[in-house]
Structure 1
Amino acid sequence: MKRQFQAASLASCLALGLSATAQAQDTTLDVVTDPSFVPFEMMDQDSGEMVGFDMDIIAEVAERAGFDYNLRTMDFNGIIPAIQTGNVDIAIAGVTITDERAEIVDFSDPYYDSGLRLLVNANDDSIQSVEDLEGKKVGTKIGSTSYDFLQENLGDSADITPYPGSSDMYMALLGGSVDAVFYDAPNVGYFSQTQGEGRTKVVGPLYEGQQYGIVLVKGSDWVEPVNEALVSMKEDGTYDEIHSKWFGSPSGE
C-alpha cells in the first residue's frame, strides 16, 4: 500500500509539473507595434505580414522567453497608453526609454542605440542644424521624443507639425509642405537611402543619444524572461545576425 501511495504521489507531482510546463508554453500575449516605422516594422505588400528588425527581435525573444503572441498594430501615439491600461501586454516599436515613460510602464534592457536626425531636400543648404529651423516648417511624429525635443528647443520659433505616421511627414517634405523632418536617426537614414534617395539628405549631428526598449505592463512578470532572452541573443550572435540583416554590422564593419 505504501509503495502504491508513493507511486500515486509521484505520478500526481509529475502530472502537476507537466501541466505547469504546458501552461507556460501555451501562454499567448498581445503584442502591439506601429506599422509605419521602417525598417523596424512595416507591412510586406506581398505577404501582408509585418516584417522588420523589431519583428525579428520579438519573434526570437518570444521563442526564448517561452510565450506565443498575437500581433496587433496601432498608431505610435496610442502604444504607451495601451500598455499602461493593460489592453496589451508588450509593445515593440522603436520606443525610446525615458524616465517619464518608465513611471507608467516597464522597459526591457535597451536593445538598440539611436538618436535624432534632420532630413531636408537634397538641394537645400540652408538647414544644417536644429537652430536653422527657426522660422521654418518642420515635420515630426505625434507622441515621439523628437516632437518633445523640438518643443523644448524651438517652441514657437518654428512651425512644428506632428504627423500620425512617418510616411506622412516624409511625403510632406517631398511635397514642399515642410522644410525639414526631424525624427529617429535609423528611420530617417533608411528613408534617405530608399524612397528619398537623390531627393533628400541627412544633415547635422546626431541629437540626444537614445536607446530603444521593449515595453511591458508595469510590474509584468515577463520583464526578466525578456531580458534573459535579449542577453542570450547577444551572447550567441543571433542579435548581430538580425542587426546585419536590416542595418549592416553593429560594429560598422
Structure 2
Amino acid sequence: MRPAFAAAAAASVLVLSAAACAPQDDTSTSSASGSASGSASASCSTSSLATKTSGKLTIGTDNPAYDPWFSDDNPSNGKGFESAVAYAVAKQLGFDKSEVVWQKVAFNNAFAAGSKSFDFDINQVSINADRKKAVDFSSGYYDVRQAVIALKGSKAAKAASIADLKKVKLGAQVGTTSLDYINDVIKPTQDVAVYQKNDLATAALKNGQVDAIVYDLPTAFYITSAELTDAKIVGQFENTGDGQEQFGLVLDKGSKLTSCVSKAVDALRADGTLASIEKTWLSDAVDAPVLK
C-alpha cells in the first residue's frame, strides 16, 4: 500500500489468504449484443449461477490497476478498495479466492456494447443512463465525489469556488465522470485537455500543460500524497443531479447474474462490510473543502 493508505492497509481484515489466478488478457470482441434483457436466475445459490466458466467467477478490471483501488498493480492480492470489494462480493456469491479469475479489460471496453468475457467488471465505472443502454449495473458499491488537483502556489490552487476555476486550463481522462464535471459543472472558458489515462493527465499537470486536473476524491488523495507531492487538492464537488453518483459492477446487458450480484452488494452495504472496506482502504475526505 502507498504511504497515504499504509496505516489503513495494516488494519484490513478483509484480505483473503489463498492465491488467486493472475489477470488474463481480454480477448472478447466489441460486436453489438442484440439480446434482450434477460430475467435473473431463480436462485442465487452458487451452483445455479450462470458464470462464464462453471465453478469460477471471472472479474475484469483495467491494466494498470491503480492505487488506492488496487495495490501493487495486482488485483488478485485482495488489497486495495476494489480488490477487497470484489472478493467480498465473490464470497457473498459462494466463491472462494481460488475460484476467482481476473481478466484485463480496458476501462472504455467494460461498458461498451457487446457481449463480455467477464462475469462482472470492477473499475470505478459510474452508473449512468447512457451506459445502462449497453450494459447492466449492480447496485452501487461506492458513493463518489470528484475533486480538483493543482500545483501548490499556482493560481488554480487558490481557487475557492467553481467560478474561480472557469478561466484555468483543466484536464481529465476521457470517458470519465471527472470530465463530465468539468464540462457540466465548471463549464470552463478554455478547451479541456482530454487524456487516455490518468497518469497522462498527472504528467500534464506536472509539466505545466494544464493548470488543474479533476479526479475522483480517493485517487486525488493518493496522487497528492504519493505521486505528485508538490500538488494539492483544491477542493471537492457536491454531487449534482437527481441522485448520488455511484460506482457499480458492470455486467452483460441482460445478464442472469445481475440480480444476484446486486443482492450481494446490497447485503455487503447493509451489514457494514462496504463501509469497513472503505474505511480501511480509502482516505477520509474531510480535508477537501466543498467548491460551490
What TM-score, normalized by structure 1, do the two folds share?
Answer: 0.77
Q: Are 2:69 and 1:40 aligned? A: yes
The 5-angstrom pairing of residues 41-80 of structure 1 reads 41-44=70-73, 51-67=79-95, 68-80=99-111
RMSD: 3.2
C-alpha displacement at 1:96, in angstroms?
0.9
C-alpha displacement at 1:223, in angstroms?
1.7
C-alpha displacement at 1:144, in angstroms?
0.5
CA contact (8 A) 2:221 2:283 kept: no
Q: Are 2:253 and 1:218 aligned? A: yes
CA contact (8 A) 2:86 2:122 kept: yes
CA contact (8 A) 1:243 1:249 kept: no
In structure 2, the residue matched to 1:196 is 228
C-alpha displacement at 1:116, in angstroms?
1.3
CA contact (8 A) 2:156 2:212 kept: no
Cα distance change on mapping 1:36 and 1:165 into 2, 3 Å: farther
**Structure with greater helix share of residues:** 1
CA contact (8 A) 1:136 1:158 kept: yes
C-alpha displacement at 1:53, in angstroms?
0.5
C-alpha displacement at 1:172, in angstroms?
1.6
Cα distance change on mapping 1:202 and 1:251 into 2, 3 Å: closer
The 5-angstrom pairing of residues 173-188 of structure 1 reads 173-188=205-220
The 5-angstrom pairing of residues 23-38 of structure 1 reads 24=49, 26-34=54-62, 35-38=64-67
Deviations 1:172-192, CA, capped at 9 Å, x for gaps: 212212110012122112222
Unaligned 5+ segments in structure 2 are 1-44, 288-292
Cα distance change on mapping 1:250 and 1:66 into 2, 3 Å: farther
CA contact (8 A) 2:137 2:251 kept: yes
What TM-score, normalized by structure 2, do the two folds share?
Answer: 0.67
Deviates more, 1:150-159 or 1:68-77: 150-159
In structure 1, the residue matched to 2:21 is none
Deviations 1:52-84, CA, capped at 9 Å, x for gaps: 211110111012113543212233222211x64
**Structure with greater strand share of residues:** 1
- How many residues get paired? 230
Cα distance change on mapping 1:229 and 1:154 into 2, 3 Å: closer
The structure whose Rg is larger is: 1
Inter-partner Cα distance in structure 1 for 2:201 and 2:285:
28
Inter-partner Cα distance in structure 2 for 1:97 and 1:142:
16
CA contact (8 A) 1:89 1:216 kept: yes
Match of 2:264 among 229, 245, 251: 229
The 5-angstrom pairing of residues 85-164 of structure 1 reads 85-126=115-156, 128=159, 129-152=161-184, 157-164=189-196
Cα distance change on mapping 1:42 and 1:171 into 2, 3 Å: farther
Please tell me the residue identity of whatever aligns with 2:212. Answer: A
C-alpha displacement at 1:23, in angstroms?
6.9
CA contact (8 A) 2:169 2:190 kept: yes
Deviations 1:152-200, CA, capped at 9 Å, x for gaps: 4566822312222212211221221211001212211222232233x11
Inter-partner Cα distance in structure 1 for 2:272 and 2:121:
24
Unaligned 5+ segments in structure 1 are 1-19
Sequence identity percentage: 28
CA contact (8 A) 2:136 2:250 kept: yes
In structure 2, the residue matched to 1:172 is 204
C-alpha displacement at 1:135, in angstroms?
4.5
